[in-house]
Chain A
Amino acid sequence: METAIDVTLLALLGLTGIALLRVYNLVTAAMLLAIYSLLCASLFTTLDAVDVAFTEAAVGAGVSTVLLLGTLALVGREEKRPLKRQALPLIMVVVTGAALVYGIADIPPFGAPDNPAQQHVAPVYLQESEAATGIPNVVTSVLTSYRGYDTLGEVTVIFTAAVGVLLLLATGRGRGRGPDDG
């Protein structure tokens, strides 16, 4: 049952991805991206990453869509159709994809409990984190206690991004009123 849900969600993700590539109306693309994020959130739930799932649902499907629609209200919603099909991007994608497929073929089987990724430090966190931090959710205890400095760095990134956005948009409005505004 779990496998069936996994296969279906991933197939839907693939279809949404192809639809995203093919639409030329950007509002449609923004809506498809919201659907894509929501499908991702569902997939993360079936893959036991519940914290990631609700962050993706809130941030990916919520905040990103609002940001995209806000931008589209300012810059217009129709994408110009390409005049001719270019060969170079397709060649690059095929070459990169072939390299990835070559690498993926050697990856350990999906979901096996004895994969190297499950053997190294993960068991230590699962066994000792509750005694050390008192938090039953291991993801939370690693994020806020063991890797607290990383999370602080993440907050710095968000702060920098917010300052960047404010600076960019504030300068824009000042220039817009200027005499050289065409």
Chain B
Amino acid sequence: MRLLGLYNYWIVVGLMMIGFYTMISRGNLVKKLIGLTVFQTSAMILYISVGKVRGGTAPILLDRADVLYSNPLPSVLILTAIVVGVATLAVGLALVVRIHEAYGTIEEDDIHVQDDAP
């Protein structure tokens, strides 16, 4: 029962490993960046899940005293992480466009073949 209560975290592990596997097993550079995004998002879900209080509400203060609020701090961290994540993605995609201009392909093994050719 205790392990069932950690359902959010089990899914986080699953998503994180899907992202990780996409990154290291696929040769296409865009697909690798998609894997990176899935990985990042799973870390965000982990943090937000830690901050949730059962029966709580969003941390926007009300005039009543008897309200239970969820933790605001994970939200603050993850807001920063989302924006930094999209900045990383933008630079990564720009690199992909550059690699495509220089090599004519975005498949990792084709790029290695061209690099090894004399």
The majority secondary structure among interface residues of chain B is helix
Question: CB-CB contacts of B70-111 with A at 8 A, as 1s and 0s?
Answer: 111111101110111111111101111110111010110010
The reply to whether B53 and A139 contact each other, CB–CB distance below 8 Å, is: no
In the complex, which range does the number of interface residues on chain B fall in? 35 or more
Q: Is A89 an interface residue (CB 8 A)?
A: yes
Task: Decide yes or no: A44 and B48 within 8 Å by CB, A21-B21, A36-B41, A55-B82 being known contacts.
Answer: yes
Q: Is A82 an interface residue (CB 8 A)?
A: yes
Question: CB-CB contacts of A1-45 with B at 8 A, as 1s and 0s?
Answer: 000001100110110011011000010011001001100100110
Partner of B86, one of A44, A63, A97: A63
The reply to whether B83 and A55 contact each other, CB–CB distance below 8 Å, is: yes
Partner of B76, one of A48, A70, A147: A147
Complex Cα distance, B90 from A118, in Å, reads 35
The reply to whether A93 and B93 contact each other, CB–CB distance below 8 Å, is: no
Question: CB-CB contacts of B48-86 with A at 8 A, as 1s and 0s?
Answer: 111111111111110000001111111110111011111
The reply to whether B9 and A172 contact each other, CB–CB distance below 8 Å, is: no
Which residues of chain A come closer than 8 Å to B69, judged between CB atoms? 48, 126, 138
Complex Cα distance, B105 from A76, in Å, reads 9
The reply to whether A14 and B11 contact each other, CB–CB distance below 8 Å, is: yes
The majority secondary structure among interface residues of chain A is helix
For the complex of A and B, the 5 pairs showing the least CB-CB separation, nearest first, are A111-B54, A161-B87, A48-B70, A89-B25, A138-B72
Residues of chain A whose beta carbon lies under 8 Å from any beta carbon of chain B: 6-7, 10-11, 13-14, 17-18, 20-21, 26, 29-30, 33, 36-37, 40, 43-44, 47-52, 55-56, 59-60, 63-64, 67-68, 70-72, 74-76, 79-80, 82, 86, 89-90, 92-93, 96-97, 100-101, 104-105, 107, 109-113, 115, 117-118, 121-122, 125-126, 130, 136-139, 142-143, 147, 150-151, 154, 157-158, 160-162, 164-165, 168-169, 171-172, 175-176, 182
Q: List 28 A-B contacts (CB under 8 A).
A: A7-B7, A17-B38, A21-B18, A21-B21, A44-B48, A47-B51, A49-B51, A52-B75, A55-B82, A55-B83, A60-B86, A64-B37, A67-B86, A74-B97, A76-B106, A90-B21, A104-B6, A104-B9, A110-B9, A117-B50, A122-B72, A136-B60, A136-B61, A139-B60, A154-B84, A157-B87, A172-B97, A172-B98
Residues of chain B whose beta carbon lies under 8 Å from any beta carbon of chain A: 2-3, 5-22, 24-28, 30-31, 34, 37-38, 41, 44-45, 48-61, 68-76, 78-80, 82-91, 93-98, 100-102, 104, 106-107, 110
